[in-house]
Amino acid sequence: MTNRKYHLTNIGHDLIRVNWVEPVGNVVTMVVNINDRWLHSYFLMPQWIIDNPGPTICHEDEHDEEMLKLREKGPTWPMHIAENAFAQITYLEDVGPGRDDIITCPPDQLPAGYADRRN
């Protein structure tokens, strides 16, 4: 998420909530528990993506202006629940803030074994 505005809130009992809106109009909320190593992801997807998902299959950061135009064209309503799920955090690393060099490619271009790391 390069140069994206987000909202971070400590909601107590080792829980952190992070919210943001993606250029395509997806509304994303994650609740993260670092100590117990789990997260809950919930995101809503606008109607225009349901109708025509093809243009969104790309690395958004490289197509922000195009995504914003498609979002404005709409329709944005109704919003659809695209994900409502828990996940286990299997790898945790503090790399410091403001590091745009951490995620530099889509998931299918990660080095072999990258997603299998555990700590």
- Mean pLDDT of successive 10-residue segments in the chain (119 residues)? 82 95 93 96 96 84 85 94 96 88 83 93
DSSP-assigned beta bridge partners for residue 41: 30, 85
Range of the domain at 62: 7-116
Name the strand (E) or helix (H) holding 66: helix 64-73
- Residue 13 counted as domain residue: yes
pTM of the model as a whole: 0.80
Number of domains in the chain: 1
Positive or negative, the CA dihedral 85, 86, 88, 89 is positive
- Residue 45 counted as domain residue: yes
Half-sphere exposure of 47 (CA within 13 A, CB side): 7
